[in-house]
Amino acid sequence: MEEKVGELWHRLITRLAQDRYPQAAVCLTELDKTLGILFRALGGDGGLRLETAGATHHHARRGLLQRIAGSATKIELAWRDEHALRLPEVIDLFPQQSLNRDLYFWLAALASGEQGRVEPWLEKNQRLTRETLRRYPGMAGRYQRLLKAHLSQRPDPARLRPDEAAQEAAIRQALANPGAVSHLAPARHAPWPVPLWLHPSPPWVSQAGSDSAEPENASAGEAQNLSHERSRRGERTEMPEAERGLVTIRMENILSWGEFAKVDRGAEENEDLDQAVEAAEQMEQFNVTRDGKSVASKLRFDLDLPSDACDDEVLSEGLLLPEWDWKRQVMQEAHCRVMTLQAADAQPMELPARLNRTAKRLRAQFQQLMPARLWRRGQADGSEVDLDAYLRFATERGSGQLTNADNLYLDLRTGARDLSCLLLADLSLSTDSWVDNHHRVIDVIRDSLYLFSESLSATGDRFALYGFSSRKRNPLRFHQIKSFDEAYSARTRGRIQAIKPGYYTRMGAAVRHAHRLLDRQPAQRRLLLLVSDGKPNDLDKYEGRYGVEDTRHAIHEVRKAGIQPFCVTIDERGNDYLPYLFGSGGYVVIRKPQELPRKLPLLYARLTRE
Amino acid sequence: MMNKSVTAPARELDEALPFYKPQAREVELFEYGYRHQLPVLIKGPTGCGKTRFINYMAARLGRPVYTVACHDDLSAVDLVGRHLIGDSGTYWSDGPLTRAVREGAICYLDEVVEARKDTTVVLHPLTDDRRILPLERTGEILKAPPEFMLVVSYNPGYQNLLKGMKPSTRQRFVAVRFDFPAPELECEILVGESGIDGETAQRLVRLANAMRALKDHDLEEAASTRLLVYAATLILGGYEPVEACRAALVEPLTDDTETASALMEVVHASLGR
């Protein structure tokens, strides 16, 4: 009963003390794109994210009702720090929606002028206001409207104590006539917050995360979501802070690794096939074994996901491939076993809706690349008479020469390009890492595969999609997503959806196998497109120099066979080793992994241009 | 021979000099190039004054200019010439490049990266010390006179993933980079070109620079000086300024309605409601 009454009382008094207008609220999520563009256009730093500002205590005197209700102790104010422009998640200060909207625009414009100089709050905001109004005269009308509405909401100086009244009067004057007030008299309470200005003492980012803004952080997810691309850029340029910013995610990973950690793999360094098989069989047990003690440093962790038997259907087994040993400079025959797999549980599906727009655009672009239909002259058979050929024939016959009446027709044919492309995607466990808050590398690769197939199916070029990962030299897991002979269909899309990261990157063997597949293609031009996120590596000695040399050898063979290899990587350190593998024109490093899906088809277009 | 504009030779001198404000030392460079028979490559974003510069220089040097707007179907034949059928059999018709070589004119290939790859076959012998144009079809070999000058331009930011100039072609030119003029200069250009008052010109330039800051991030292309001139012309003609900016600066740059409305906010902020 007591509780019930308390609750009712709380609701009543909160409503009475309420000075917000939820019905006129404007959310940051509605405007974030517009605000971002405005902010950048007015001179704001393009590297900044747009984020929601947490509410902070303002320590100002509150009205009686508000004090009773215990509300209105906090306010969301905007500020800008070196990472982000922070705006309130929702603005509902004014009864009209248009005013709340205006306030967002005003704050973005105000913040765009901030240089990060340290100066007193009052002066800074007056200076910013003055400058914004001078540089963007169009903002004046907006400011006047906001000012009028805001002044009517500020506490009445006549009803305050003298010291507070003086302060309030000064602020009113500073608002109405920016630059006029240079000093704020001290008073018992902080002045009533000014939502038209930037935050007086913006909390440091770390604080915002830890103390005051815990609940806001949770709801801020949405807004951060929208600016993830920008946030990524920010992270790249500001390295040390970025590490800190990613802490929550890293912790998560560390926790999940903990579950798989400390796997005892004693048979690790052993090259013996039988033992490797045995080790593989024992894997399942080891994977779930937990052990509080640290393991010997020479043992590596194996973070493998479900064992191969349960997820994928085995298509062919026992194909053996050689591997190059650079130390001994010999080819080790029959060194790796390739296992071609196909996702068993892949359901036919449509293209994900978020890709529809890009896919449509790419398809249109690629359709233009497709060779036009051409009249072929001098055909033995065709839909029209080739008049030139006929004339020649008639003249020759008329002049008494005996010629055969063949090849006298025109035929309309599509000038299909004689081209086959095999796309080989790296599906090793490293693709499980995150490129930003919401995308893993594998997601980016998956989107790339979708858009690539959409684009290529528009041209009519023959293409195949494969993915690979490896667990030492037995087996190399070669995932067939689409073979050359299959048509691109809903089933293919299902298989693209089903790709998942696992194991390691024995690139050389994968390239050799792709080479074999391409060799069977009769096309004049053959392209091997490798999409990767890092160096070749595997658990055994396939690391560092050995892996690079083997891959280089495989690429070299590919090139010798007249197949054009090309590597697209999102590994920023790719410039260190890729020129060695592919030659300076044979690869490209995509700096922003999010761009890979869009860029990959365009790259293909450039590669295959005559 | 479609999509090709061959401007009439502008032989009239000084009084017909087109309006042009130099950005740096490009006028000097061009004159050196002309005097020493060096081909010139001009790169810069759309609408920053490349074509105007060529016309200005041509008028200054008193040479006719043949402008060819290159497109992706433009082949060597379109530049060199072809046989046409007339009353009494076929006859040879010079293309713009051949005509420029014969007359000792300036040949300007605009957006040269758009042209088909086989055009390099005719450009290479013209751009090294041989300075010859072999006409394969007629068996003629034209030696370019000292007055002949080849100028090509392209926009490096434009679809650069799909198209680029071959390094072997690029290396035959002296190159100069154009960019949008500095704000004061751009104001002068606006005033000079459209006749608009200085204050409006300043606002427009500020607005354009605000929108240029969005290139690559939100917009594919930056607002060009040419678009600014359009906006100024509309405003001077009595069109409502904000609407003029919408028509000349916002809509030409983006198709995305959300971006367009954000850009309109920038316009409002700069020009006032």
* DSSP characters over A349-361: -PPPGGGHHHHHH
Whether A482 shows a pLDDT value over 80: the answer reads yes
Least confident of A147-156, A360-369, B73-82: A360-369
CA–CA separation, A608 and A369 (whole Å): 10
Minimal C-alpha gap between B81 and chain A (Å):
23
Using the Cβ of A597 and the Cβ atoms of chain B, whether some distance falls under 8 Å is answered with no
Q: What is the mean pLDDT of residues A182-191?
A: 78
Minimal C-alpha gap between B32 and chain A (Å):
35
How many Cα atoms within 13 Å fall on the side-chain side of residue A249?
14
More confident residue, A91 or A328: A91
Instruction: With beta carbons under 8 A apart, name residues in chain B contacting A141.
Output: 272-273
- Backbone CA torsion sign across A87, A88, A92, A97: positive
Residues A492-524 have pLDDT tens digits of 889 888 888 888 888 888 999 999 898 888 877
Q: Are A445 and A529 in contact (CB under 8 A)?
A: no
- Backbone CA torsion sign across A300, A304, A310, A315: negative
Q: Are B176 and B29 in contact (CB under 8 A)?
A: yes
Q: What is the mean pLDDT of residues B230-248?
A: 93
Using the Cβ of A47 and the Cβ atoms of chain B, whether some distance falls under 8 Å is answered with no
Location of structure tokens 């091997």: A528
Minimal C-alpha gap between B35 and chain A (Å):
37
Helix (H) or strand (E) holding A88: strand A84-88
Whether A216 shows a pLDDT value over 80: the answer reads no
Whether B27 shows a pLDDT value over 90: the answer reads yes
CATH topology of domain A316-367+417-608: Rossmann fold (3.40.50)
The predicted structure's pLDDT at residue A244? 43
Using alpha carbons, list the distances in angstroms from residue A312 to A195, A196, A308, A340: 58, 59, 6, 10
The percent of residues in chain B predicted with pLDDT above 90, rounded, is 52
Q: What is the mean pLDDT of residues A318-328?
A: 81
pLDDT winner (highest mean) among A122-136, B68-82, B228-242: B228-242
Least confident of A154-168, A217-231, A347-361: A217-231
The predicted structure's pLDDT at residue A41? 85
Angle at CA of residue B258, ends A453 and A436, nearest 5°: 55
Q: Which residues of A96-106 are buried (b: 16+ CB within 10 A; e: fewer)?
A: eeebbbbbbbb
Contact A603 B161 (CB under 8 A): yes
Average per-residue pLDDT for chain B: 85
The predicted structure's pLDDT at residue A211? 35
Contact A602 B162 (CB under 8 A): yes
Q: Which residue from A minimizes the CA distance to B202?
A: A135
Minimal C-alpha gap between A520 and chain B (Å):
29
Q: Are A416 and A376 in contact (CB under 8 A)?
A: no
Using the Cβ of A137 and the Cβ atoms of chain B, whether some distance falls under 8 Å is answered with yes
- Backbone CA torsion sign across B177, B183, B188, B193: positive
Instruction: With beta carbons under 8 A apart, name residues in chain B contacting A109.
Output: 269
How many Cα atoms within 13 Å fall on the side-chain side of residue B124?
9
Location of structure tokens 């433009």: B74
Q: What is the mean pLDDT of residues A583-592?
A: 76
The predicted structure's pLDDT at residue A259? 42
- The token pair that represents A94 in the structure block: 């004014």
Where on the phi/psi map is residue A88: left (φ > 0), alpha (ψ -120 to 50), or beta?
beta
The predicted structure's pLDDT at residue A93? 86
Minimal C-alpha gap between A131 and chain B (Å):
13
Q: Which residue from B minimizes the CA distance to A104?
A: B265
pLDDT winner (highest mean) among A238-252, A462-476, A530-544, B45-59: B45-59
CATH topology of domain B14-177: Rossmann fold (3.40.50)
Neighbour-count burial of A294, counting CB atoms closer than 10 A to its CB (0-12 exposed, 13-18 middle, 19+ buried): exposed
pLDDT winner (highest mean) among A115-124, A530-539, B65-74, B81-90: B65-74
Least confident of A194-203, A303-312, A397-406: A303-312
Average per-residue pLDDT for chain A: 74
According to DSSP, the residues that pair with B140 across neighbouring strands are: B135
Domain boundaries, given as residue ranges, for chain A: 2-245, 253-303, 316-367+417-608, 373-414
Backbone angles phi and psi of B137, in degrees to 5: -70, -35
**Confidence bin at A224 (pLDDT 50/70/90):** very low
Helix (H) or strand (E) holding A85: strand A84-88
* DSSP characters over B219-271: BSSPPPHHHHHHHHHHHHTT--HHHHHIIIIITTT---HHHHHHHHHHHHHHH
**Confidence bin at A587 (pLDDT 50/70/90):** confident
The predicted structure's pLDDT at residue A273? 57
More confident residue, A283 or A180: A180
Residues A409-431 have pLDDT tens digits of 877 766 666 788 899 998 888 88
Residues B146-199 have pLDDT tens digits of 999 999 998 876 544 445 677 788 889 999 999 999 999 999 999 999 999 999
**Confidence bin at A314 (pLDDT 50/70/90):** low
Q: Which residue from A minimizes the CA distance to B116?
A: A610
Q: What is the mean pLDDT of residues A17-25?
A: 79
Q: Are B205 and B166 in contact (CB under 8 A)?
A: no
**Confidence bin at A237 (pLDDT 50/70/90):** very low
According to DSSP, the residues that pair with A465 across neighbouring strands are: A423, A482
- A315 C-beta neighbours (distance < 10 Å), count: 13
**Confidence bin at A458 (pLDDT 50/70/90):** confident
Instruction: With beta carbons under 8 A apart, name residues in chain B contacting A138.
Output: 267-273
Using the Cβ of B214 and the Cβ atoms of chain A, whether some distance falls under 8 Å is answered with yes
The predicted structure's pLDDT at residue A313? 58
Q: Are A481 and A495 in contact (CB under 8 A)?
A: yes
